[in-house]
Structure 1
Amino acid sequence: MKKLNWGMIGGGQGSQIGPAHRLGSGLDGAFSFVAGALDHNADAGRAYAQTLGIAPDRAYGDWREMLAGESAREDRVDLVTVATPNATHYEITKAFLKAGFHVLCEKPMTMTVAEGEDIVRTAAASGKICAVNYGYTGYSLVRHMRAMVARGDLGKVRLVVAEFAHGHHGNAADADNPRVRWRYDPAQAGVSAQFTDCGIHALHMASFVTGQEVEKLSADFASCIESRVLEDDAMVNFRMNGGAVGRLWTSSVAIGRQHGLTIQVFGETGGLRWAQEQPNQLYWTPLGGRVQIIERGEANLSPEADRSSRVTVGHAEGMPLAFANIYSDLAEMISATKEGRAADPAASLCPMAVDGLRSMAAVHGAVVSAKGQGEWVDARPPMFRD
């Protein structure tokens, strides 16, 4: 496989997510990091890009300059990662898709459902990939959970319970910290804070593992720190199109919780439990049997797990490795397109624009439900309703 050219927008010096993308994209040697517009401060972005080895003429001051510069090159980037503030995702992603670039966008993909539908249509019209970074689906044992459900190990799925709760915004005295405050400001964060920031990771994980989509939901939002306009805690009940019942809790004021992404799936003949903070173990309990611990990297797992396991059994697996599996999926799909061949079916596990759209429809549905005292609402995007 010939190396692909990769560029990044956002994710500059001090970014929380930028290093994980750079590590993940480079792990397999499939991408060369050749272009970037890494900071809202043009000079700082150019300087930092060059410290990372990007040539001066491809260290851009902003995304528009990068779009123009890369569009004019024969060796243009094959994939652009958008890791900028939420409100900018739609404009940047659409512009690069229309210009003929493949895009990996950080979540949330858009701020509105209408924007999400527009991105889905734009990607389809352009013939380019638009992926969304639900990066936790890259973990090997998450993919093994999906395989176990798909092959019927659990029988019919009855219940899925997902959480993404942390306590890092639980200090009321820190509520005016600019790094925290923007997340609860509707002008910058949109209609939802914690559910959009973390809850949709858990919601997407529920769909990814079960193979079912959310049809309707009922939500309760709370601002436990009263000065916040948007929610810092949410409970969402949902029903899926395959009959599964879902429960989701997400919070930023759960002091003592660090990351807190967990998923449990209960079927007719067994149950599964996985936690992102202990990603090497998957707990499997067959009906009438004892709890079994499945170790990442052990023999006789699913092809999906084997393909996405990066280090030998017993060694720690981390978030950049999960991100690397997303980039591996994208590299395979892009290379297959360039080479005129069929892509490895396992690469289809990468989350796409339609997943970003479904998440945004769920966010807006949850906001309506919470304002309506938990009324049940249709969580599907309008374009997917009968």
Structure 2
Amino acid sequence: MERLTWGMIGGGEGSQIGPAHRLGSAVDGEFSFAAAALDHRPDAGRAYARSLGIAGDRAYGDWKEMLAGESGRADRVDLVTVATPNATHFGIARAFLEAGFDVLVEKPMTITVEEAETLVRLSRETGRICAVNYGYTGYPLVRQMRGMVARGDLGQVRLVMATFAHGHHADAADADNPRVRWRYDPATAGISAQFADCGIHALHMASFVTGQEVERLSADLASCVPGRVLEDDALVAFRMNGGAVGRLWTSSVAVGRQHGLELQVYGERGGLAWAQEQPNQLRWTPLGERTQIVERGDAGMLPEAAAASRVTVGHAEGMPLAFANIYRDLARAIRARKAGEPAPPALYPTAEDGLRSMAAIAAVAASGQAEGVWLDARPPMFR
């Protein structure tokens, strides 16, 4: 089977997210890394791309150069990943979609709801994929949770508790650290910092697992480190369209917490709990019975979870393999379209998911400014 080709914008040397994408895209041999514009400094980006094995004529100085170069090639890349600061996502993704490329965008997909609606429409009009990297939904036991909810193991879902809290931005002395500063600057991050950076991962996972969408919400926001314009802590209450009640806490100043992504789902017949720092175990408590531990890789896992499990039971599994499942999902969708076949069920997060997240971000920011007033969290085009 001939490999698809893949290109990356951003995610250069020293990036937090770049290595996970490069590892994840390579795991299954579906993609070869063929083109890149990795740094806002053209020479540094070209040099780093060449050090990773990219041919000199496809090691680009910026995304516009990459768009022009790849658009004119018969062997242009099949998928482009956008892993740049938030404020640049829309312009890059729009340009590549308009040129007929499939795109995977880091979250948040854009910085406004209007931009996100534009990408949804473009994806539909061009027939090209616009996916969003909520990569943690690639974990096998997250997909196990989704399957258990869908087949009715929990009965009606009553309550969802979602958390994504860490303490890595708690030091006020980091105010000028460029890897921290941009996240709290409205010019580069948009209208939200911590909720847009981490909270929407937890919120999307709540929808991914339960099959329900957020309809309305109320938010309490705080900037705990002096001088920050945008929030570094958020508490959000929400209601979902299937009747579930939701609670979400996200923070970047919770000293002692490392990653802190957790999801708990409680239904009328049982409850599930999963934590990303212990990804191999899922706690399942049927009503009136003892808690059971579902081990990743065990016999009897649901098909979608078993297919996402890459290493034998009892061995550690991490984020790059979760990303690999997203890339494999995308490869299968791209191959199906190339072959003129029906696309497989989409487990990768779509532009529509990205749009819902942007609407939630806008509602959280507005609710926080209005002392927690309840607001409609649905995108206008979905109301």
Q: Report TM bin, short chain.
A: over 0.9
**Which residue identity is paired with 2:127?**
G
- Deviation sequence 1:330-355 (CA, Å, 0-9, x none): 0000001111122333xx11000011
In the alignment, structure 1 residue 316 sits paired with structure 2 residue 316: yes
Aligned-partner Cα distance in 1 for 2:262–2:20: 20
**What is the letter of the counterpart of residue 193 of structure 1?**
A
Match of 1:352 in 2: 350
For residues 83 and 30 of structure 1, the distance between their equivalents in structure 2, rounded to whole angstroms, comes to 20
Tell me the CA shift for residue 119 of structure 1.
0.4
- CA offset at residue 372 of structure 1? 1.0
In structure 2, distance between residues paired with 1:212 and 1:319: 25
Q: What SS does the aligned partner of 2:176 have? A: coil
Identify the residue that residue 363 of structure 1 maps to in structure 2. 361
What is the alpha-carbon root mean square deviation over aligned residues? 0.8
Q: Which residue of 1 is the match for residue 57 of structure 2?
A: 57
Q: Cα deviations across residues 156-176 of structure 1 (Å, max 9, x unaligned)?
A: 000000000000111123233
Match runs of 1:66-145 below 5 Å: 66-145=66-145
How many Å separate the matches in 1 of 2:343 and 2:123?
18
Shift of 1:2: 2.5
Q: Secondary structure at the match of 1:95?
A: helix
Gaps of 5+ in 2: none
Q: Secondary structure at the match of 2:315?
A: coil
Kindly provide the amino acid, as one letter, of the partner of residue 190 in structure 2.
G
Deviation at 1:182, TM superposition (A): 1.9
Partner of 1:307: 307
For 2:244 and 2:220, locate their aligned partners in 1 and report how far apart those are by CA, in whole Å: 20
Partners of 1:14 and 1:260 in 2: CA distance: 22
Structure 1 residue aligned with 2:374: 376
Look up the match of 1:230: 230
- CA deviations on 1:91-116 (whole Å, 9 max, x unpaired) are 00000000000000000100000000
Q: Given the two structures, how large is their TM-score scaled by the length of structure 1?
A: 0.98
How does 1:1-386 map onto structure 2 within 5 Å?
Answer: 1-345=1-345, 348-385=346-383
The TM-score with structure 2 as length reference comes to 0.99
Residues in 1 aligned to 2:181 and 2:101: alpha-carbon distance in whole angstroms: 34
Which SS does the other structure have where 2:5 is aligned?
strand
> Which one-letter code corresponds to 2:23 in the other structure?
L
Instruction: Please tell me the residue identity of whatever aligns with 2:26.
Output: G
Structure 1 CA distance for aligned equivalents of residues 54 and 182 of structure 2: 31
Please list the CA deviations of residues 296-319 of structure 1 after superposition, one character each: whole Å capped at 9, or x if unmatched: 001011011011000000000100
Deviation at 1:183, TM superposition (A): 1.4
Aligned residues: 383
2:87 touches 2:187 (CA, 8 Å); kept in 1?
no
For residues 29-80 of structure 1, give each alpha carbon's deviation from its aligned partner in whole angstroms, at most 9, with x where no partner exists.
0001111111111111111111111111111111111111111111110000
2:253 and 2:176 mapped to 1: Cα distance? 15
Q: Distance in 1 between the 2:17 and 2:316 partners?
A: 20
Q: Distance in 2 between matches of 1:225 and 1:38?
A: 31
Aligned residue type for 1:350: Y
2:233 and 2:253 in contact (8 A); partners too: yes
| AA of the residue aligned to 1:372 | A
After TM superposition, give the deviation of residue 25 of structure 1 in Å.
0.2
- Structure 1 runs not aligned, ≥5 long: none
